[in-house]
Amino acid sequence: MHEIGVADFDIKHTIESAQPLTFFGDERVDGKGIAYTYRDNLVKVEQNGGRLAYEAYGDLNAAALKREIITRFRLRDNMHEIYEHISTDAFLRKAIQNYKGMRVTKNDPWETTLCFVISQFNNVKRIRGIVKRLIVAYGEEHTVSFGNVKLNFRSFPTPDVLAQRSVKELMTHGAGFRANYIKAIAQECSDSFDLDKLNNKNYTEAKEELMTLHGIGDKVADCILLFGYGKLEAFPVDTWIKRIVEHVYFKGREKNVKQIHEFAEGKWNKNAGYAQQYLYHFARNNSKVEW
DNA sequence: ACCCAGGCGGGCG
DNA sequence: CGCCCGCATGGG
């Protein structure tokens, strides 16, 4: 078990705020920690106040594991500066107060892509179920030993493996009409589309490229850029964000997605993704009378 | 039974 | 362009 000191960090709020990390399945989540897969490793993380304890089962050395933890939970983010920047009004201050320490997580681009393609016109519980069933059906199985402990887990299914399955088969896991998108995107990523190259592109260019994929539009692209590539200027506009932004900042008047993007960019620009996560989580967990 | 969910592609005006 | 519609599925 390793340890790292953390401040302005709350793992519970982080993993409960519907980010890809949690889409692996609730049985690996408890009150103070989570177990998740990173490549061919099972990583366990647990928070006790200002200390984050972690360990991995697999082939990661200590330095690589530490790097993964810091990257995944964005522990280098200057939360003081971010909070100051996005505390633009009473509402956001309240959201920050309620969920202080919640981070945007930095997940694998492919995992994030698959999760958010499945998310469209869907609900969080079903998204988790579908992703979980795809992992069970198509993820490579691993057995690791750590001392006298033996553990089985499955890594995230690769584009290559999913590309080989039929749409009809993918639908048997409950993916519905999204099975078409999963198949098409897995094929493109397995064939010629290089997700890694988007790391070297700016937000606008990377978004354009992502949106050439069949089944990735404005909102899903922003989610992938935020949670998969760590581009904090991304501001995914889903039904929750649209509702809450209209209500809080436009007196309930309807705005289209483009107008909401322009508003968010002007107000929170390089930290819009953090503002989004606090707005989203607050909206979902508080009845509308609280807004 | 009915409604909705972290939208998108395609078609139409 | 912007708008509108259908879409698989299952939980509330």
Looking at strand B, which nucleotides approach a protein CB closer than 7 A? Answer: 4-9
In contact, A238 and A219? CB cutoff 8 Å = yes
Average pLDDT estimate for A19-30:
71
Q: Kindly list the distances between the CA atom of residue A214 and the CA atoms of A89, A119, A179, A264, in Å, as whole numbers in the listed order.
A: 38, 14, 11, 26
Q: Identify the residues numbered 136 to 165 in chain A whose C-beta atom is closer than 7 Å to any atom of strand B.
A: none
Whether any strand B atom is under 7 angstroms from the Cβ of A184: the reply reads no
Average pLDDT estimate for A72-77:
98
- The model's confidence at residue A239, banded by pLDDT at 50, 70 and 90, is very high
Helices A257-268 and A239-249, packing angle to 10 deg: 70
Average model confidence (pLDDT) across chain A:
94
Average pLDDT estimate for A225-237:
98
Q: Which residues contact A105 (CB under 8 A, 6 or more apart)?
A: A14, A19, A20, A21, A72, A73, A74, A227
pLDDT higher than 70, residue A24: no
pLDDT higher than 80, residue A25: no
pLDDT higher than 90, residue A26: no
Count of CB atoms situated within 10 Å of the CB of A97: 12
Q: How many CA atoms lie within 13 A of A100 on its CB side?
A: 9
Q: Write down the pLDDT at residue A113.
A: 98
Q: Write down the pLDDT at residue A147.
A: 76
Helix, strand counts (H, E) of chain A: 14, 7
- The model's confidence at residue A288, banded by pLDDT at 50, 70 and 90, is confident
- The model's confidence at residue A132, banded by pLDDT at 50, 70 and 90, is very high
Instruction: Show residues, CB within 7 A, near nucleic chain C.
Output: A 121-123, 125-126, 129, 171, 174, 176-177, 256, 258
